[in-house]
Chain A
Amino acid sequence: MAQSVKVGTLKIKERNLGWKLIIPTIIIIAALIVYPVIYNIYLSFYDVSISPGKSNIFVGLQNYVNVLTDPDFWVSFGKTLAFTLLTVVGSILAGLVVALMMNRNFIGRAFVRALLLLPYITPLIAIVFAWRYIFLPIDGPLIRMLSTVGLIDSGVDLINDPNNAFWVVTIFNVWRNFPFVYLMILSRLQSISKTLYEAAEIDGANAWQKFKNITLPELYFVIGSVALLRGIWNFYKFDEVYLMSKFAGTLPIYIYEKAFLGVPEQGVAAAIATILFVGMMALIGFYVKKVLKW
C-alpha cells in the first residue's frame, strides 16, 4: 500500500518534470508555426495593408477569386506540380542507381562516397553561382561543350529565359538532392540479409531476378518514404529555385513576388499560401497514414 503511493508520487514527479522540459518547445512551436499557419488563413480573407497604421479590410473570398481566375496562377501551379514530380522521380532514380553502385567494392570507393556528399552539404549560396556560371550563354563551359557537340545553340540563355529556366532548376534540384536519397537507400541496402541472395542463387536466379524479387521489395518502404519527403519539401521549395533562376515560375516564387516585391499584395499571397498549404497537408496526411502508419 505504502509502496504504491510512493510509486504514484514518483510518477507524478516524472510527469511534471516531463512537461516542464517540453513546455518551451511547445510554446515556441505553437506561437511561431501553428499560430502563423492559422493567421495566414485569416489574412487570406483580407486586403492586407503593409503600413502598420492602416488596418486590413475584409474582402471575403475576393483574394481566392482573384487567384483562381488568374491564368498565371494556373501556369505556376502546373509548373509546381511538374517540378515536384520530375525532381522526385529524377532524384530517386539517380539515388537508387548510385546506391547500387556504392554497395559494391571498387577502387576509390571511399573517395567517391565522400565526393557524393558535396552537392547536398555545400551551402546553397556557395554553389548556385558556379551553376549559373556553367550555364552562361556563349562563355559558360557547359553551354560551350554542348554546343560543340551540336546539342544546343551557344547563344541560348537557359537561366534567364522563362521557358528553359524550369529545366535548369529541375536538373539543379536533382543534382543537389540525389545524395540524400542515395544515403537513405544505401543504408537500407546494407541491412538486407545476404542469405536471401544466396538462397536465390541456389535456386538459379540471375542478377535481374535477384534485383526484382529481393532488392526492390526490401527497398519499397524506404523509397516510398523518401519520395514523399522529397515531394513535400520540393512542393514548397523556394530558395533552391529562386536563387538559381527567378524565372522558374513555381508557386513559392509567385508568393514571394506577390508578398514582398513591387506593390505587395499580401492578402493574395496569403491566399496562394493557403492553397499551397492545403496541397501540402494532403501530401503530409498521405505520408502519415501510408508511410508512418500512425
Chain B
Amino acid sequence: MVRRKNIAKKTGFYILVLLLVIFVAYPFVWMLSISFRYDTDAFEPGLIPERPTLRQYGELLGLVKSIREEMSQEEQQMMELIKDLPPEQQEAFLAEIGAQRKKETFPFIRFFKNSLFLAGISAFISLIIAIFGAYSFSRLEYKGRGMIQRSVLVVYLFGGTILAVPLYQIFVKLGLFGSGARSYIALVIIYVVQTLPVSLYMLGNYFRTIPYSIEEAAIIDGCSRLQTIFKVVVPLSLPAIITVYIYAFMIGWNEFLFASIFVRPYPEYYTLPIGLNELFNSAHAIWGKMMAASVVTALPVVIMFTMMEKYLTGGLTVGGVKE
C-alpha cells in the first residue's frame, strides 16, 4: 500500500520534471531544427528536418555562396548593359557591384566581429577600473566608503530606459555622434558604465575572501600596496576576474537599446542584436538563416558559461546580472 503510493508519487514527480524540461527546451529544440533546414522548408511540420543541411551555417560563415548569389542572372544582364563601355570601366563597375552585393546578403560575420570588438573592449576597460575600485572597497579603510558602496548598489538598479534620452543628448553635444566610429566611442563608454557596478560588486565580494595575511607577507617583503594588487590579489582571484569579464562581456554582447540609438544610421557598424533585428524586419522567409544565426550567436556565451559554470552560477546568486 505504502509502496504503491510511493511509486505513484515518484511517477508524478518525473512527469513534472518532464514537463519542465519541455517547457524550457521547446524554443531551443525548434531553433536547432530550423537551423538545419533550407529556408523553403522552414514550415514543414515535423521536428526532424526531412532534408537536413548545413548550408545555412556555411552561408553565415561565408564558406558557401548564398543561393541568391548563385542563381541570379544579374551578372549576365549587367554584362549586357555595360558591354559598350571600355574594358577598364567594365571591370571597376563589376567589382563595385560585387562588393555591394557581398555586403547586402547576410553580413553575419561583420555583425559578429563588431559585437566581439565592442563587448570585448568595454568589458576589459570595466574590469580594470573595477579591480582598483573593488580593492579600495574591500581592503582599504576610509570615511565615506560605505556610502559610496551603497550608492553603487543603488545605481546598479537604474535602467537604460531612463538614461536613453539624456545620454543621447549629452553624446550629441560632445560630438560623439554623426559617424560610426564616433558612435562606437559613445557605446564603449556607455557599456563600461553599465557593467561597472556588477563588476565592482562581484570582485569586491571575492577580494574579501582572500586572507589579508598573504598581502601582509608581500608588504613585509617590500611590495607597495599597488604592487600587491597585481602580484597577490589579481593572481589569487583569477577565476573571479574571468567570471566578471564574462559577465561584462555578456552585457555588451546583449545590449540592444543604446546600439539601436547610436548606430542605426550606420549599417557597417551594426552589432549582432541590432543587425539581426534589422535583417529580420527587412527580409522575408529567411527563417533557416535566422535560426542558424541565433545558434551561432548563442554559442560563445553558452560555451563560456559551461566552462566556468561553477563560478558563474555562484556569481549569479551573489550579484545577479545587471539588466
B26 partner residues in chain A, CB cutoff 8 A: 134, 142
Query: Are the CB atoms of B297 and A126 closer together than 8 Å?
Result: yes
Q: Which B residue's beta carbon lies closest to that of A113? A: B313
B257 in the interface (beta carbon within 8 A): yes
Interface residue from A36, A117, A139 paired with B163 (Cβ < 8 Å) = A36
Stretch touching chain A among B50-58, B66-74, B95-103, B139-147:
B139-147
A127 in the interface (beta carbon within 8 A): yes
B196 partner residues in chain A, CB cutoff 8 A: 25, 28-29
B109 in the interface (beta carbon within 8 A): no
Interface string of A117-155 (1 = CB under 8 A from B): 111111111110111011000010110100000000000
B141 partner residues in chain A, CB cutoff 8 A: 11, 14-15, 18
Which A residues between 249 and 284 are near B, CB-CB below 8 angstroms?
251-252, 255-256, 259-260, 266, 269-270, 273, 276-277, 280, 284
Cβ distance B221 to chain A, nearest Cβ, rounded Å:
18
A245 vs B33: C-alpha distance in the bound complex, in angstroms? 23
Query: Are the CB atoms of B137 and A118 closer together than 8 Å?
Result: no
B2 partner residues in chain A, CB cutoff 8 A: none
A229 vs B141: C-alpha distance in the bound complex, in angstroms? 29
A106 partner residues in chain B, CB cutoff 8 A: 13-14, 17
Tell which of A129, A236, A277 has the most Cβ of chain B within 10 Å.
A129
Query: Are the CB atoms of A126 and B257 closer together than 8 Å?
Result: no
Q: A125-B273, A239-B257, A243-B277 are in contact. Are A130 and B250 (CB under 8 A)?
A: no
B248 partner residues in chain A, CB cutoff 8 A: none
Stretch touching chain A among B81-89, B128-136, B209-217, B234-242:
B128-136
B205 partner residues in chain A, CB cutoff 8 A: none
Query: Are the CB atoms of B317 and A18 closer together than 8 Å?
Result: no
Tell which of A26, A236, A269 has the most Cβ of chain B within 10 Å.
A236
B311 in the interface (beta carbon within 8 A): no
Interface residue from A24, A115, A243 paired with B21 (Cβ < 8 Å) = A115
Q: Number of B interface residues, CB 8 Å?
A: 94
Query: Are the CB atoms of B28 and A130 closer together than 8 Å?
Result: yes
A141 vs B28: C-alpha distance in the bound complex, in angstroms? 12
A18 partner residues in chain B, CB cutoff 8 A: 136, 140-142, 145
A134 partner residues in chain B, CB cutoff 8 A: 26-27, 30
A88 in the interface (beta carbon within 8 A): no
B280 in the interface (beta carbon within 8 A): yes
Query: Are the CB atoms of A129 and B294 closer together than 8 Å?
Result: yes
A208 in the interface (beta carbon within 8 A): no
B145 partner residues in chain A, CB cutoff 8 A: 18, 22
A123 vs B250: C-alpha distance in the bound complex, in angstroms? 8
A40 vs B166: C-alpha distance in the bound complex, in angstroms? 5
Q: Which A residue's beta carbon lies closest to that of B189? A: A32
A66 in the interface (beta carbon within 8 A): no
A175 in the interface (beta carbon within 8 A): yes
B152 in the interface (beta carbon within 8 A): yes
A117 vs B161: C-alpha distance in the bound complex, in angstroms? 26
Cβ distance B109 to chain A, nearest Cβ, rounded Å:
16
Query: Are the CB atoms of B173 and A52 closer together than 8 Å?
Result: yes
Which B residues between 274 and 300 are near A, CB-CB below 8 angstroms?
276-277, 280, 287, 290-291, 293-295, 297-298
A98 vs B273: C-alpha distance in the bound complex, in angstroms? 30
A43 in the interface (beta carbon within 8 A): yes
A252 partner residues in chain B, CB cutoff 8 A: 159, 161
B48 in the interface (beta carbon within 8 A): no
Interface string of B22-42 (1 = CB under 8 A from A): 011111101100100000000
Query: Are the CB atoms of A28 and B193 closer together than 8 Å?
Result: yes
Which B residues between 292 and 323 are near A, CB-CB below 8 angstroms?
293-295, 297-298, 301-302, 305-306, 309, 313, 316-317, 320-321, 323
A248 vs B257: C-alpha distance in the bound complex, in angstroms? 16
Query: Are the CB atoms of B24 and A37 closer together than 8 Å?
Result: no
A292 vs B141: C-alpha distance in the bound complex, in angstroms? 22
Q: B interface vs A, CB < 8 Å? A: 13-14, 16-17, 20-21, 23-28, 30-31, 34, 43, 45, 47, 129-130, 132-133, 135-137, 140-143, 145, 148, 150-155, 157-170, 172-173, 189-190, 192-193, 196-197, 200, 225-226, 250, 253-257, 260-261, 272-273, 276-277, 280, 287, 290-291, 293-295, 297-298, 301-302, 305-306, 309, 313, 316-317, 320-321, 323
In order of increasing CB-CB distance, the 9 nearest A-B pairs are A18-B140, A21-B136, A36-B166, A130-B31, A126-B298, A15-B142, A236-B159, A130-B27, A21-B132
Pairs across A and B, CB under 8 Å, 8 listed: A123-B250, A123-B273, A123-B297, A130-B30, A183-B317, A259-B168, A266-B169, A277-B162
